[in-house]
Structure 1
Amino acid sequence: MTTSIINSQKLGDDLGNSDLRLKDIIKTLPRECFQQNRRKAWTQALVSVLMVALGYYSLTITPWFLLPIAWIFTGTALTGFFVIGHDCGHRSFAKRRWVNDLVGHLFMMPLIYPFHSWRIKHNHHHTHTNKLDEDNAWHPIRPEVFESWGKRRQSAFELFMRKRLWWIGSVGHWAVVHFDWRKFKTKEQSGVKLSVAVVVIFAAIAFPVLIATTGIWGFVKFWFIPWLVYHFWMSTFTIVHHTASDVPFVAANKWNEALAQLFGTIHCDYPRWVEFLCHDINVHVPHHISTAIPSYNLRLAYSSIKENWQPYLHNECQFSWSLMKQIVDQCQLYKTDVGYKSFNEYYADRSLASK
């Protein structure tokens, strides 16, 4: 565990006052962190293709009682597909834009994830990390926002948090955010339409063929359940990357990019096989310092960041059920300039206020 000298209240006070700039941190990173290596990039892509192929082969030969293991492996390997597309979206996979766009579409196509719409929305997250009302990844809900919702929406959100359903969060984000090109700027809409068309055409061909050859159960077995496992990791990675009871989300006038990326991004260690299949995407702090760092250089960059900026880093954590339980149970609503509250604390405060 690293030890941070910053607590959330102090950081919230400092976000608008610190002179620290992101470029100051970037200057301390070794130049090698930013060097693209064609061999490493394509090796990662090949590894992902081979691991996904192995996963699907295992699904064809695995007895029914071992299918959960094969599904978990295949879905995690498919998450590696997303990470390749993720590098392409940040233009860190290849030097030529058309190569990034082509590879990004190919690797995100089986996930039915429109490449350009994801790329645009994800870059917005990097620009506004942990900024209230702007960060469009996993962001907290303020009590006043919660109170403005109808009873049905409030009940659904409370059920989602209390029943620890975080693992389906990215399915909703995928469905709501990435297919409607009207939600994008005019100059972005043509790219979004192209990406939506790519995945729609893929689904229109692949799904009927899969069902015709393997039946509805084959569709569920070979695509839907591995896809849900992929979304489990997407949801988990996203919430863990920026959520802890002491990580502040602050208003724009108090927000400092450098401190938000350093302290507001959390390093979490996962089982080594997950790190391998997902190309170290969970070494996430350097990725928020600079999206130009390819995934195969993240560990090198993180070593440098720990050496030079450790006092500003959040404590590291290790993936476990208890970690997820702690995050989802504690980080339910967020009061501006105060921090996270659970629903129980929120209702207790309301009860006291009404007396």
Structure 2
Amino acid sequence: MACRITHSNFHLKGTQLQTPINGHRFVSLYPTGASYLKWDVLPQCKAKHQRSVIPLRRAKIVKAVASSVTAQFPADSAEQRKELCERYGFRQIGEPLPDNVTLKNVIDTLPKSVFEIDDVKAWKSVLISATSYALGLFMIAKSPWYLLPLAWAWTGTAVTGFFVIGHDCAHKSFSKNKLLEDIVGTLAFLPLIYPYEPWRFKHDRHHAKTNMLNEDTAWHPVMKEHFESSPVFQKAIVFGYGPIRPIMSISHWLIWHFNLNKFRPNEVGRVKISLACVTAFIAIGWPLIIYNTGIVGWIKFWLMPWLGYHFWMSTFTMVHHTAPHIPFKSSEEWNAAQAQLSGTVHCDYPRWIEILCHDINVHIPHHVSSKIPSYNLRAAHKSLQDNWGKYMNEASWNWRLMKTILTVCHVYNEERNYISFEEVAPEISQPIAFLNRVMPDYA
């Protein structure tokens, strides 16, 4: 661990021991770091740093509590941001966006052309998804057993493209004909057995309250009081935010979208229509698949690609808004421009994934304005880079990025943003320790 408390006379320097200053030595509580402090400057330190110093009996050695890197790096200098990039697997961590910048200020810098709906480009995306999905089903039908995982990976990614098309329809950025949008969105979601209207209502809330504590409907930190109040479910929560997090959107899909009590009275009618469509697909589509291919065929042709879709749904959502330096704010402290521009992450994936998923990971412009069609996201991103680039978070997908999310970003902490389950509940955090041991750390 390498971190620095904001005082020129107190530095944590990693594992290499330095010559004690004025005969006084300070050792980090963490085994990976040692720190030294000039004793005569200690009274000048801030109170919270004074509380970090604990005398050990009569020896002239005290231990300095080195809390998470996030706590000690406010990312207010280029050097600190560079260190955080290396630690977390980012290409760039943006500067803090000034409080007086509004979301309208950011939107006003975008060229008008990025908001224009192009029917040809919209239907081209449908053609790409339909043909790539059909190709995937053909590969599943023809592949020997040892190539099936590759066929499932392709088909699961292709069907994710249907989700992105429905996603554009829900944001009213697919067509100028709003009835057509609802029809296309409903049909695009059917292979995923996702009810279109319930998802649209909940997703709109995600955009309105991105990274707002307790209000965002996407991934957010576990609240410590909730975690501690449910000992029966603690192990399930640890697994859900750790090893099985890459498919935990299944839980989100089930909990959020099928309960009529979660919707306003004026939404319930449209929700019922979507639920009826999904029910019809299950009642007609699944028996047809089973009749023609058997239960094994249902697993091969539908279930495995569906799980592949949920892998992308989970991991995309995690990467878009989750990192140790990206805060969740209470409604009183929340700032729309900071949440959408600086609280959203652009992540580059292999080009074939970007094509099949219609650039959904060019995600910052989508959160600046959800009215931008998916085929204009790259042009909008270029404009944001030109005007606001220094405030943006960017990465290329890598193992260190995923490992950081899965092993660090767990429980909400006001000062540090996140603390790991290993710190909150070490006695049940074996799954997180396992991930720390086995996951690659390549960036």
1:117 partner amino acid: P
| Matched position secondary structure for 1:252 | coil
Q: Trace 1:1-355 onto structure 2 (pairs within 5 A).
A: 1-6=91-96, 18-149=99-230, 151-162=231-242, 164-314=243-393, 316-347=394-425
3 and 180 in structure 1: CA distance in 2 versus 1, 3 angstrom threshold: closer
1:322 partner amino acid: R
Aligned-residue offset at 1:336? 2.4
Structure 1 unmatched ranges of 5 or more: 349-355
CA distance in 2, matches of 1:115, 1:5: 37
After superposition, the C-alpha distances for 1:166-213 in whole angstroms (9 at most, x for unaligned) are 112100000111011221000000001100100110110010111111
Contact 2:129 2:161 in 1 (8 A): yes
Aligned residue pairs total 336
1:305 partner amino acid: L
| Matched position secondary structure for 1:267 | strand
Which of the pair has the greater relative contact order for Cα pairs under 8 Å at 6+ separation?
1
After superposition, the C-alpha distances for 1:291-325 in whole angstroms (9 at most, x for unaligned) are 100000000000010110122212x1121333211
244 and 3 in structure 1: CA distance in 2 versus 1, 3 angstrom threshold: closer
Aligned-residue offset at 1:148? 2.1
Contact 2:93 2:391 in 1 (8 A): no
CA distance in 1, matches of 2:384, 2:302: 39
CA distance in 2, matches of 1:267, 1:89: 21
| Matched position secondary structure for 2:241 | helix
RMSD over aligned Cα atoms: 1.2
Name which one, 1 or 2, has greater alpha-carbon Rg.
2
CA distance in 2, matches of 1:322, 1:66: 28
2:189 partner amino acid: M
1:87 partner amino acid: D
Aligned-residue offset at 1:119? 0.4
Contact 2:136 2:155 in 1 (8 A): yes
Correspondence for 1:352? none
2:235 partner amino acid: S
| Matched position secondary structure for 2:358 | coil
Contact 1:280 1:296 in 2 (8 A): yes
CA distance in 1, matches of 2:239, 2:197: 32
Greater alpha carbon shift after TM alignment, 216-225 vs 135-144: 135-144
Contact 2:239 2:245 in 1 (8 A): no
CA distance in 2, matches of 1:2, 1:84: 29
| Matched position secondary structure for 1:296 | helix
Contact 1:270 1:318 in 2 (8 A): yes
Contact 1:88 1:94 in 2 (8 A): yes
CA distance in 1, matches of 2:188, 2:249: 18
Aligned residues: percent identity?
A: 50
CA distance in 2, matches of 1:297, 1:174: 28
Contact 1:259 1:312 in 2 (8 A): no
After superposition, the C-alpha distances for 1:243-296 in whole angstroms (9 at most, x for unaligned) are 001000010111010111011100111111000000000000000000100000
After superposition, the C-alpha distances for 1:98-153 in whole angstroms (9 at most, x for unaligned) are 0110000111011100000000000000000000010010111121221122x221
| Matched position secondary structure for 1:334 | strand
| Matched position secondary structure for 2:332 | helix
The normalised TM-score by structure 1 is 0.92
CA distance in 1, matches of 2:269, 2:194: 16
Aligned-residue offset at 1:161? 3.0
1:123 partner amino acid: D
Contact 1:283 1:298 in 2 (8 A): yes
The normalised TM-score by structure 2 is 0.74
Contact 2:192 2:306 in 1 (8 A): yes
Aligned-residue offset at 1:36? 0.5
CA distance in 2, matches of 1:197, 1:347: 43
CA distance in 2, matches of 1:344, 1:58: 43
